[in-house]
Structure 1
Amino acid sequence: MIDVILAGLNCTHIEVTGDDGTHFDSIIVSPEFSGLNRVKRHQLVYKALGDRMRAEIHALGMKTLSPEEWAQQQG
């Protein structure tokens, strides 16, 4: 899944976890998220994943951050 997201979205950091193959949690950091609300950010990730969201992925929890937000959280 990471490769698919990276192919469709410019990311500076990405983590995806999940142990059953259909339910995942993610942290995605992208400069494309700057100035966007959470809904718009999630829409960009869904667009990058395309049909996989309907066919392969049952649930995807997302924490979407701009690089500036990520840097603040990292201290």
Structure 2
Amino acid sequence: MSLEQQLIERLNTLAPTHLEVINESAGHGSYFPGKESHFKVIIVSEEFTGLRLVQRHQKVYAVAAELLNPGKIHALAIHAYVPSEWQGQAPNSPDCAHAPKA
């Protein structure tokens, strides 16, 4: 099973009403087709109700912990919302300083 699928499986334990997992590895240095190292997660869940942003991130890190090891996921951008905050769009990721230049 791919790292992306494993991450989705673990994040689903937070009962999201909206979940996007985007593989952004292609925008980073040393990319090759099929590389899974950099992900962006957009998750909307009632599980985050009453939690500060850092606590929401801690919940995500807790369910993804074993995937955040050397040789697996190197970077995880997290955008965690409760349903009342979700406006249908998360911010764009910044360009990586080590991204391949066109």
Identity rate of aligned residues, in percent?
42
Q: How do 1:1-75 and structure 2 match up within 5 A?
A: 1-6=7-12, 8-20=13-25, 21-55=36-70, 56-70=72-86, 73-74=87-88
Q: Which has the higher strand share?
A: 1
Separation (CA, whole Å) in 1 of partners of 2:45 and 2:39: 19
**Equivalenced residues, count:** 71
Q: Unaligned 5+ residue runs, structure 1?
A: none
Query: What TM-score results when the alignment is normalised by the length of structure 2?
Result: 0.64
When Rg is computed on C-alpha atoms for both structures, the one with the higher figure is 2
CA RMSD across the alignment: 1.3
Q: Unaligned 5+ residue runs, structure 2?
A: 1-6, 26-35, 89-102
Deviation at 1:19, TM superposition (A): 4.3
Segments ≥4 residues shifted beyond 3 Å: none
Report SS of the residue matched to 1:41: helix
Q: Which has the higher helix share?
A: 1
